[in-house]
Amino acid sequence: MNKEELVKAMAAEAKLSQAKAKAALDAMLKSVKKALSKGDDVVLIGFGSFKVKKLAARKGKNPRTGADLTIPAKKVVRFKAGSALAEKIK
């Protein structure tokens, strides 16, 4: 499902216009991005949680040349499904 399909599904489920559903989805995504960029967790009970995890720098190899290299530290977003969602997809 892509964003356009999700907007259509949201509009049908909530009996909203597609424009209002798109505005709601965009606002939700913007709020989640803002919270994660500040380092906050986003927890949606029954759905799941988004967390920022710090990955330490590590050693790797260039697959083309085999040369050793250092992969720099970075932050990544992790999603963990909530119990209700996990049950639904079993």
Q: What is the pLDDT of residue 90?
A: 83
Is the domain of 73 the same as that of 33?
no
Model pTM? Answer: 0.79
Q: Judge if 46 and 79 occupy the same domain.
A: yes
Within this chain, do residues 34 and 46 fall inside the same structural domain, yes or no? no
Q: Are residues 10 and 21 in the same domain?
A: yes
Shared-domain flag, residues 35 and 3: yes
Going residue by residue through the chain (90 aa), what tens digit of pLDDT does each one get?
999 999 999 999 999 999 999 999 999 999 999 999 999 999 999 999 999 999 999 999 999 999 999 999 999 999 999 999 999 988
Q: State which residues form the domain around 31.
A: 1-39
Separation in Å, CA 53 to CA 29, 37, 57, 77, 81: 19, 11, 13, 6, 16
The predicted structure's pLDDT at residue 30: 97
* 3-state SS class at 77: strand
Report the number of distinct structural domains present in the chain: 2
CATH code of the domain covering residue 52: 4.10.520.10
Q: Which helix (H) or strand (E) holds 75?
A: strand 74-81
Same domain, 64 and 53: yes
